[in-house]
């Protein structure tokens, strides 16, 4: 097939370079958006009377026919077309003849590709927003049934203080909420139309940018034609928001992987979400969270690739931009599959070992802060109380004892303000209950937060 520019050249492209230059292998993913963009452009050219109404109709019918054929599987964009934009133009000309050659009036592939990506990304963001909300609902359900389940809280991966397990899950709801907010902000910048910027300078053809923007559902248009075709910030912002989302998914994945070890035994994987080993018959592997943790790396990689792609690029369109698509496509696919897989894992993949969880907060020193706060309540300065408890911990460790196995007289040897009520203060359930500060793990706080989430997500 002759290139559209062949008249200006004497020789054909080297076949290897032709393939090297082409993006049809991956940008065919944008076919529906490219058609949508072209239909809006053609309508606009009709409205401004650049095209006659019969030409406009012919072009729009041709484009609709292409869509139909594509959806019926009768048309697959492929080489030798260089990219999806040429491919559709060529197909249109083959369908409707000479009039098809008028479609590209007053536009360039530069503003066209920018428009296509934005249309595609906007849909992806809407989809991911729904998926993250579903994931939040799963976490909320798990939280609702585990308000009074206790779990050791860790800092530095060392036992710190007991927590309501619901509080632990609610922390993830917060993270995913920030992810949603970030995607929403990115969406508003994605939702800006570059169409009509043409190659970089605008055009002398009578176009109406606001009309095409409105047709395509864009909130606004780029104010500067050079910026319009040079901007890939929105791609980077999307991948950056995705990278943070993956970091959150990777965090919960890591926790699940730890929880299902024999050493932790806080949970078991159900058969629906676990795999066996080819060699070791006893094994049940957490492949799902491991894959999610592993896939985080590729999204971080895409972010790096895009940041590097734009670094030092002069204005306006440069072919480097063709490299924006694969990282973007793969990021969107990766995050949506990871969010879906995590939702399934949370809904039906985990069996919490409640006995082990409650047992584990009984037999440690994670109530040490509460022992100190007990003295603080009795007017002992915190630093003094903290040091007294430090001595008690050491005393217990040397004797392989826990606080609860001490007698009241033992306590009194360390500080006279200790009384019988110290024992109930040390019980994990009371320890958790007492964390009444706003945002703390106290049951009342947790219940309040669950109600708030319930309103936010379910109504
Ligand atoms: N395939 C190109 C891309 O994905 C389309 C834009 C080409 N523009 C150009 N001036 N060569 O970026």
pLDDT for 459 beyond 70:
no
pTM here? Answer: 0.95
Nearest alpha carbon, ligand 1 atom 2 = 322
Residue 68 near residue 59, CB atoms below 8 Å: no
Give the long-range contacts of residues 89-94, CB within 8 A, separation 24 or more.
Answer: 89/4, 90/1, 91/66, 92/59, 92/62, 92/63, 92/66
Of 23, 277, 405, 434, the catalytic one is 277
Residue 135 near residue 343, CB atoms below 8 Å: yes
Is residue 210 in a domain? no
Distance 409 CA to ligand 1 centre (A): 82
Q: Report the Cα 447 to chain-centroid distance in Å.
A: 27
CA angle 159, 164, 170 (to 5 degrees): 105
Chain mean pLDDT for the chain:
96
CA-nearest of 309, 163, 153 to 236 is 309
Q: Which domain-ending residue is among 105, 139, 173?
A: 105
Of 156, 278, 424, 437, the catalytic one is 156
Read off the pLDDT band of 82 (50, 70, 90). very high
Average pLDDT over residues 127-155: 97
CA angle 342, 263, 346 (to 5 degrees): 15
Is residue 212 in a domain? no
Whether residues 251 and 384 fall in one domain: no
Whether residues 329 and 426 fall in one domain: no
Distance 73 CA to ligand 1 centre (A): 26
Average pLDDT over residues 188-211: 98
Which of 29, 104, 113 to mutate to test ligand 1, by most ligand atoms within 8 A of the CB atom? 113
Nearest alpha carbon, ligand 1 atom 10 = 110
Domain housing 419: 360-456
Catalytic: 41? no
Q: Which domain-ending residue is among 332, 358, 384?
A: 358
The domain that contains 51 carries what CATH number? 1.10.275.10
Give the chain's largest Cα–Cα span.
101
Helices and strands, counts by H and E, the chain: 19, 6
pLDDT for 254 beyond 70:
yes
Q: What percent of the chain has pLDDT over 90?
A: 93
* pLDDT tens per residue, range 11-68: 889 999 999 999 999 999 999 999 999 999 999 999 999 999 999 999 999 999 999 9
Whether residues 59 and 116 fall in one domain: no
Which residues does a 6 A CB cutoff place in the pocket of ligand 1? 23, 27, 83, 85, 109-110, 113, 317, 319, 321-322
For residues 176 and 204, give the distance between their C-alpha atoms in angstroms, rounded to a whole number: 47
The reported pLDDT for the residue numbered 132 is 98
Average pLDDT over residues 137-141: 98
Whether residues 55 and 174 fall in one domain: no
| Residue that wins the pLDDT comparison between 360 and 317 | 317
Catalytic: 277? yes
Write out the two tokens for 367: 């109530």
Matching residue, tokens 């629906």: 272
Q: Which domain-ending residue is among 323, 358, 393?
A: 358
Whether residues 44 and 133 fall in one domain: no
Read off the pLDDT band of 305 (50, 70, 90). very high
Distance 21 CA to ligand 1 centre (A): 10
DSSP state of 3: -
Write out the two tokens for 366: 């994670």
């Amino acid at each position: 097939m002759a290139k559209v520019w062949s008249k200006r050249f004497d020789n054909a492209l080297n076949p290897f370079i032709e393939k090297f230059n082409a993006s049809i292998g991956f940008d065919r993913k944008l076919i529906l958006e490219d058609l949508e963009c072209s239909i809006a452009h053609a309508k606009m050219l009709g409205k401004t009377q650049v095209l006659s109404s019969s030409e406009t109709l012919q072009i729009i019918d041709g484009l609709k026919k292409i869509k139909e054929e594509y959806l019926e599987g009768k048309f697959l964009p492929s080489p030798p077309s260089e990219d999806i934009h040429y491919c559709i133009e060529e197909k249109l000309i083959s369908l409707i003849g000479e009039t098809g050659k008028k479609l590209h009036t007053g536009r360039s592939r530069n503003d066209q590709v920018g428009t296509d990506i934005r249309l595609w990304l906007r849909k992806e963001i809407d989809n991911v927003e729904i998926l993250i909300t579903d994931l939040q609902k799963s976490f909320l359900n798990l939280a609702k049934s585990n308000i009074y389940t206790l779990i050791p809280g860790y800092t530095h991966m060392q036992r710190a203080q007991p927590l309501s397990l619901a509080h632990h899950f609610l922390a993830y709801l917060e993270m995913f909420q920030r992810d949603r907010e970030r995607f929403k902000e990115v969406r508003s910048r994605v939702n800006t139309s570059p169409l009509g910027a043409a190659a970089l300078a605008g055009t002398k053809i009578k176009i109406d940018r606001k009309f095409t923007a409105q047709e395509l559902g864009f909130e606004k248009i780029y104010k500067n034609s050079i910026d319009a075709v040079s901007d890939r910030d929105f791609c980077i912002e999307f991948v950056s928001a995705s990278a943070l989302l993956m970091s959150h998914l990777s965090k919960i994945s890591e926790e699940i992987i730890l929880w299902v070890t024999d050493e932790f035994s806080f949970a078991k994987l159900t058969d629906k979400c676990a795999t066996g080993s080819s060699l070791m018959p006893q094994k049940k592997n957490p492949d799902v969270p491991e894959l999610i943790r592993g896939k985080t790396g590729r999204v971080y990689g895409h972010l790096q690739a895009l940041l590097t792609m734009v670094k030092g690029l002069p204005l306006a369109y440069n072919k480097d931009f063709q490299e924006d698509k694969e990282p973007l496509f793969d990021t969107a696919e990766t995050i949506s599959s990871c969010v879906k897989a995590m939702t399934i894992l949370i809904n039906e993949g985990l069996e919490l070992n409640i006995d082990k969880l409650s047992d584990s907060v009984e037999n440690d020193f994670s109530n040490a802060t509460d022992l100190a706060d007990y003295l603080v309540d009795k007017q002992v300065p915190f630093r003094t109380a903290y040091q007294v408890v430090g001595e008690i911990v050491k005393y217990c460790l040397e004797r392989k004892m826990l606080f609860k196995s001490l007698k009241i007289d033992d306590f009194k040897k360390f500080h006279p303000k200790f009384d019988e009520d110290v024992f109930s203060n040390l019980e994990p359930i009371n320890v958790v209950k007492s964390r009444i500060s706003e945002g703390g793990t106290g049951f009342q706080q947790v219940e309040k937060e669950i109600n708030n989430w319930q309103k936010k997500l379910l109504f």
